[in-house]
Amino acid sequence: MTATTAAQGDRSVALAGVAGHDAAASRSGRRRRDNLVGWGFVAPFLVFFVLFLIWPILFGIYLSFTDQSLAGTGGNLVGFANYAEALSDPIMWRSFGNTVWFTVVSTVPLVLIALIMALLVDQGLPGQWLWRLSFFMPFLLASTVASQIWVWIYNPQLGIANAVIGALGMEPVAWLQDADTALYAIIVQTVWWTIGFNFLLYLAALQNIPPQHYEAASIDGAGKWRQLWSITLPQLGPTTVLIVILQILASLKLFDQVYQMLGGVSSPTTRSVVLYIFESGFTGYRFGYSAAISYVFFAIIIIISVAQYPITRRRRAS
């Protein structure tokens, strides 16, 4: 890319020379014009980028060192008080624990079932259109819609979930109202709602495996299962790493489903970090404190994102 633009630059300099200009003067003039054109192209994006991303990040750091409230009072610098409070706040730790647990428990089926779906669909069985529609469609739903459908399914008296387990001879469960089952009920909904994305990535990866691999293996007498273990799954390695990382980053941001399915009521067993950030800021009115928790959360996201880099790079290299 740099090479092409450099070549392009050379050619225009040559053209300028042909036209009989003083080379040095035209070069510095040209550079000034290049800068102007370049920044001109970037400017529209840059304005929004600075206003709605860079500035809020910096301003949020400042807020996290103040006792600013949503009501407009406060705003005094309080040093590290918010961070100190956050790190000794049992509710914050509990919400981190819930979030991590949610991430662990949801990631396993979200990766495994997606893999099984993709492997089966890739067999070329009839009904391709229907399979893709069924597995991918929920991913396109707004979180509210996905939540409403499942609140209805989980309804203790009228829901189909209790009808199903009732038919199997089990006692009805208050899925979302019961503190012990609520998070798991939300995990099931999340798997249903978001698996389509992972399914899609796996399917794309499967279709990129060169068919020659399979031809060679079958000439060597390798059966179906053997091919799965020694060709397909190893070839999917990098994709799996990618999916797991994207999934962890997405699951840690849990908010919509919990807020929506529990009707905005949070309990110690279901409160996620982002929900706690929201609550401290918008129902507790403590913007400064809420900002501090945001940055603790952000730090964790950065650590995971940076830590995955060498892993994915090694996978890519091998």
Select the span of 18-26, 31-39, 104-112, 177-185 touching another protein (CB under 8 A). 31-39
Select the span of 21-29, 82-90, 171-179, 245-253 touching another protein (CB under 8 A). 245-253
Residue 299 tokens, joined: 């730090």
Rule CB under 8 A: which of 224-243 touch another protein? Answer: 224, 227
Q: Which CB, 97 or 156, lies closer to another protein?
A: 156
The residue with tokens 């919990």 is 258
Number of residues counted as binding another protein (CB under 8 A): 112
Q: C-alpha distances in angstroms, 225 versus 1, 199, 210, 218, 229?
A: 44, 21, 18, 11, 6
Rule CB under 8 A: which of 144-203 touch another protein? Answer: 144-145, 148-153, 155, 158-160, 163, 192, 197, 200-201, 203
Among 19, 20, 24, 44, binds another protein (CB under 8 A): 44
Q: Which CB, 35 or 230, lies closer to another protein?
A: 35
Q: Which CB, 145 or 233, lies closer to another protein?
A: 145
Does residue 244 interact with another protein by CB under 8 A? no
Q: Which CB, 161 or 183, lies closer to another protein?
A: 161
Among 10, 11, 170, 311, binds another protein (CB under 8 A): 11
Rule CB under 8 A: which of 271-290 touch another protein? Answer: 274, 277-278, 281-282, 287, 290
Among 17, 35, 108, 170, binds another protein (CB under 8 A): 35
* Reduced 3-state DSSP string for the chain: CHHHHHHHHHHHHHHHHHCCCCHHHHHHHHHHHHHHHHHHHHHHHHHHHHHHHHHHHHHHHHHHCECCECCCCCCCECCCHHHHHHHCCHHHHHHHHHHHHHHHHHHHHHHHHHHHHHHHHCCCCCCHHHHHHHHHHHHHCCHHHHHHHHHHHCCCCCCHHHHHHHHCCCCCCCCCCCCCCHHHHHHHHHHHHHHHHHHHHHHHHHHCCCHHHHHHHHHCCCCHHHHHHHHHHHHCHHHHHHHHHHHHHHHHCCCHHHHHHCCCCCCCCCCCHHHHHHHHHHHCCEHHHHHHHHHHHHHHHHHHHHHHHHHHHHHHHC
Least Å distance, CB 153 to another protein, is 6
Among 23, 25, 137, 307, binds another protein (CB under 8 A): 137
Rule CB under 8 A: which of 65-84 touch another protein? Answer: 68
Rule CB under 8 A: which of 88-127 touch another protein? Answer: 113, 116-117, 120-127
Among 73, 76, 207, 230, binds another protein (CB under 8 A): 207
| Distance of alpha carbon 254 from alpha carbon 96, whole angstroms | 11
Among 82, 95, 99, 260, binds another protein (CB under 8 A): 260
Among 129, 180, 310, 317, binds another protein (CB under 8 A): 129
Among 14, 23, 53, 108, binds another protein (CB under 8 A): 53
Does residue 59 interact with another protein by CB under 8 A? yes
Query: What angle (nearest 5°) sits at the alpha carbon of residue 61, between those of residues 55 and 67?
Result: 120
